[in-house]
Chain A
């Protein structure tokens, strides 16, 4: 029973990371109809920026704030100067562009930081263990869960109670109409894209101490995040929450229950959802 609790918490921590990455992905897709293959590359860049900042300043909290800010700028630039350029060429080219971008970022990271996994430190008080359910559990994982839940709530608060939130949700539904109402939709796009990049970068920073920093980290979480938005429904934030939770736990318990097939479990889930409900749990039928 204690073990089950530990694995549940493990799953929760990974679900938190997944949610932070996939929420931006799904919002951007809902709004701009662009699936950003480079989204997880922002996650990786966030981790590497933080790794370097930590190396030179030794301050974890500085890295936690500065790295997402840098990614916000990167995201805004990518949207403004690359994505918007190919928009008129259609979907296919947008996908190709983000895919190429992911490839370049991956190769660039290998060039600048090397291919070896790098360990990332954390403040000593987060590195300790705490006694819950009668077992000692690392504080850091609880921190990850707490931060993800906190950010998720904050995001929900902004999306559902503020004017900005109303505009974003309306733009997800029908951006032509929002544009007709006199709102500068391209600016909203840029903002959401940059915000998603920052969120992804933030997830990268907090993932660093947990999973180490390595050039394959983008692709690993990208595939999982894709499964999340397929299962949850593309464009749905609520779906991202639920699916992140399911997949985080499935990953965690899969390793102990079916060690041989743990990798295949999430794909089986995805295949099941595709057959039974191709639009995803919370998705809209087209």
Chain B
């Protein structure tokens, strides 16, 4: 798959970026909002896939970070704190990173199945805290917030304009995704891959896999928190849903449907999920059931997800050029 036609590889991301930048001019407002939502969930799903696809760590508790990021943002821009836009996002991300570190210290004492189980239990704990601590989280009523304007000194940018918020999301999420991609290329990111493949050998060579795992867990926690922060700003509202097991299920479905085997799989997955949800929820109230069935069918018959299917199909149409290896 070195070249489709004869275009260089670096052209594709450029084309994709140009299309994304042009979208506000091309799409009606409702469609733009869907793309915006999909972008936010892309970050959430990519951060999840760094755990699941890259490190082979199955977590059922990713929503605790997403939720903490969302609630932190809700508190920072509302309830008298009134932080500026990027300050709130940065602080929420930082808080979630610290939470990720603390939770990781405890959870990463175990591996494999017990790890999966504990993440679910911890998510339940965070959810319980969010319900009980209603002075802070608003309990069942949730938190309302107003998107702060961005103050440039000379002029203010109104973030309530759809296109403006879209560009901010694109910029921030795009930068975070680029960072994730860069991370998978660093020696740290490579270590994570090796850890999945053969941890014992890696330890023999002299790597401290516990520290690598903790760093990765902390990083993905922070990224999920950042996604949660944008989620809160996007809806101008945080409810218990953000920290519930449903939010974990959602990221799991997105990531898996998109495919855990490639970096962009989860991005594709979140796009498909958001659009499918938008389409199905118009037709039936039972759309989660359809999503669940889709997920089970993919686990059974297409464990590589959509990106796996695409790779397979594309494999049939690419000129076979075996001599080059």
B132 / chain A contacts, CB cutoff of 8 Å: 260, 263
A73 interfacial by beta-carbon distance below 8 Å: no
Given A97-B296, A97-B300, A264-B129 in contact, is the A274-B109 Cβ separation under 8 Å?
yes
Given A96-B256, A97-B296 in contact, is the A270-B113 Cβ separation under 8 Å?
no
A223 / chain B contacts, CB cutoff of 8 Å: 120-121, 124
A37 vs B252: C-alpha distance when bound (angstroms)? 14
Q: In the complex, what's the smallest C-beta–C-beta distance from B107 to chain A, in angstroms?
A: 8
- What 1/0 flags go to B109-124 for Cβ under 8 Å of A? 1101110111011101
**Nearest CB to that of B292 among chain A residues?**
A104
- What 1/0 flags go to A262-286 for Cβ under 8 Å of B? 0110010011001100100000000
A180 / chain B contacts, CB cutoff of 8 Å: none
Q: In the complex, what's the smallest C-beta–C-beta distance from B59 to chain A, in angstroms?
A: 11
- What 1/0 flags go to B90-104 for Cβ under 8 Å of A? 000000000000000
- What 1/0 flags go to A89-100 for Cβ under 8 Å of B? 101110111011
- What 1/0 flags go to A61-93 for Cβ under 8 Å of B? 000000000000000000000100110010111
B293 interfacial by beta-carbon distance below 8 Å: yes
**Contact (Cβ within 8 A) B121 A226:** yes
Chain B residues 69 to 91 lying within 8 A of chain A, measured CB to CB, are none
B148 interfacial by beta-carbon distance below 8 Å: no
**Contact (Cβ within 8 A) B296 A101:** yes
A263 / chain B contacts, CB cutoff of 8 Å: 125, 128-129, 132
B58 interfacial by beta-carbon distance below 8 Å: yes
**Contact (Cβ within 8 A) A103 B109:** no
A110 vs B132: C-alpha distance when bound (angstroms)? 25
A33 vs B116: C-alpha distance when bound (angstroms)? 13
User: Per a CB cutoff under 8 Å, which of A29, A97, A260 touches B113?
Assistant: A29
B60 interfacial by beta-carbon distance below 8 Å: yes
Given A107-B286, A264-B129 in contact, is the A274-B118 Cβ separation under 8 Å?
yes
**Nearest CB to that of A223 among chain B residues?**
B124
A57 vs B295: C-alpha distance when bound (angstroms)? 37
B56 / chain A contacts, CB cutoff of 8 Å: 92
B288 interfacial by beta-carbon distance below 8 Å: yes
A203 interfacial by beta-carbon distance below 8 Å: no
A222 vs B249: C-alpha distance when bound (angstroms)? 15
B303 interfacial by beta-carbon distance below 8 Å: yes
B14 interfacial by beta-carbon distance below 8 Å: no
**Contact (Cβ within 8 A) A95 B110:** no
**Contact (Cβ within 8 A) A93 B299:** yes
**Contact (Cβ within 8 A) B303 A89:** yes
* B interface list, Cβ under 8 A from A: 52, 56, 58, 60, 106, 109-110, 112-114, 116-118, 120-122, 124-125, 128-129, 132, 245, 249, 252, 256, 286, 288-289, 292-293, 295-296, 299-300, 303
A227 interfacial by beta-carbon distance below 8 Å: yes
* A interface list, Cβ under 8 A from B: 29, 33-35, 37, 82, 85-86, 89, 91-93, 95-97, 99-101, 103-104, 107-108, 110-111, 219, 222-223, 226-227, 229-230, 234, 260, 263-264, 267, 270-271, 274-275, 278
Q: In the complex, what's the smallest C-beta–C-beta distance from A125 to chain B, in angstroms?
A: 37
B128 / chain A contacts, CB cutoff of 8 Å: 263-264
Given A104-B289, A267-B121 in contact, is the A95-B113 Cβ separation under 8 Å?
yes
A184 vs B292: C-alpha distance when bound (angstroms)? 33
User: Per a CB cutoff under 8 Å, which of A91, A103, A229 touches B295?
Assistant: A103
Report 17 cross-chain contacts, Cβ distance below 8 Å, ordered by A residue: A92-B52, A93-B299, A96-B58, A97-B296, A100-B299, A103-B249, A103-B288, A103-B292, A107-B288, A222-B120, A230-B117, A263-B129, A264-B128, A267-B122, A267-B125, A274-B118, A275-B109
Question: What 7 pairs across the A-B complex have the smallest Cβ distances?
Answer: A104-B292, A107-B289, A263-B128, A223-B124, A100-B296, A103-B292, A267-B125
Given A95-B58, A101-B296, A274-B106 in contact, is the A108-B113 Cβ separation under 8 Å?
no
A86 vs B109: C-alpha distance when bound (angstroms)? 27
**Contact (Cβ within 8 A) A104 B113:** no
B52 / chain A contacts, CB cutoff of 8 Å: 92
A106 vs B12: C-alpha distance when bound (angstroms)? 41
B303 / chain A contacts, CB cutoff of 8 Å: 89, 93
**Nearest CB to that of B110 among chain A residues?**
A278
A5 vs B265: C-alpha distance when bound (angstroms)? 57
B58 / chain A contacts, CB cutoff of 8 Å: 92, 95-96
User: Per a CB cutoff under 8 Å, which of B113, B122, B124, B289 touches A35?
Assistant: B113
**Contact (Cβ within 8 A) B125 A108:** no
Residue from A92, A110, A226 with most neighbouring chain B CB atoms (10 Å): A92
User: Per a CB cutoff under 8 Å, which of B121, B129, B245, B289 touches A270?
Assistant: B121
Given A35-B116, A103-B249 in contact, is the A86-B292 Cβ separation under 8 Å?
no
**Contact (Cβ within 8 A) B116 A219:** no
B109 / chain A contacts, CB cutoff of 8 Å: 274-275, 278
**Contact (Cβ within 8 A) B121 A99:** no
A274 vs B105: C-alpha distance when bound (angstroms)? 11
**Contact (Cβ within 8 A) A107 B118:** no
A219 / chain B contacts, CB cutoff of 8 Å: 124, 245
A100 vs B286: C-alpha distance when bound (angstroms)? 15
A96 vs B245: C-alpha distance when bound (angstroms)? 14
